[in-house]
Amino acid sequence: MIKLRRLIRERFLGRVLSVRLEFGYWVFEGDGFPAQRPSWNYRAEDGGGIVLDMFPHWQYLLEDLFGPVSAVYARRATHLPRRWDEAGKPYDVTADDAVYAVLEFASGFKAQWERFLRAAARDEPFQWDLFAGARGVQLAELAMRSCDEGRRVEIPE
C-alpha cells in the first residue's frame, strides 16, 4: 500500500477516476477441511455477508489512497450455497460470499492515511477517526443498496 500510495502521489498512474474491486474469501467450505471463517459470516440473519464485512475496510483504505468515494456500483453473489459449520453440520448460505464493485472517486488525499502510516512506522496505536468509520458503514450500506437496486448510487458528502 505504501508503494501504491507513492505511485499515486507521483502521478505515475495519472489521475485515478475509478477502481474496480473483486473480492471473495477463498476459504474451505468446512466439509473436508475446517473453514477458516466462522459460520455466522455466511448467514445474513446473523449479520454475515462480504459487503457488510469488507466495505467499511475498503472505504478507509481506498479513500485514503485515491480520495473521497463519490459513487458506487456493486453486485454481490453467493457462489457457494452450502457450507459446514464449526460442529461439522451442513447449512445453507444466506449471505453474499463475493462482491464485485466499481467505485468512483473525487480527487485528493486524506490525512488519516498519513496518520495511520506514521503510527505503524513508529509501532504506536492508531487513533481511529470515528467519522471515517461511519463513512465506511455508509459505503457498505450504499453498496448494499446498489446491489439491491442494480444501479450506480452516489455517495452524499
User: How many helices and strands (H and E) does the chain possess?
Assistant: 4, 6
Of the segments 7-11, 22-26, 113-117, which one has the largest average pLDDT value? 7-11
Residue 11 lies in a domain: no
Evaluate if residue 108 carries a pLDDT over 50. Answer: no
Residue 8 lies in a domain: no
User: What pLDDT was estimated at residue 127?
Assistant: 64
Q: What is the CATH number of the domain that holds 25?
A: 3.30.360.10
Q: How far is Cα 136 from Cα 157, in angstroms, rounded to an integer? A: 13
Residue 76 lies in a domain: yes
Give the structural domain span for 124. 18-154
| CB contact at 8 A, 123 and 40 | no
| Domain count within the chain | 1
Q: How far is Cα 109 from Cα 121, in angstroms, rounded to an integer? A: 19
pTM: 0.69
Residue 121 lies in a domain: yes
Q: Judging by DSSP bridges, how do beta strands 69-77 and 90-92 pair with one another?
A: unpaired
Q: Amino acid identity of 101? A: A
- 86-110 average pLDDT score: 85
- Count other C-beta atoms under 10 Å from residue 90's C-beta: 11
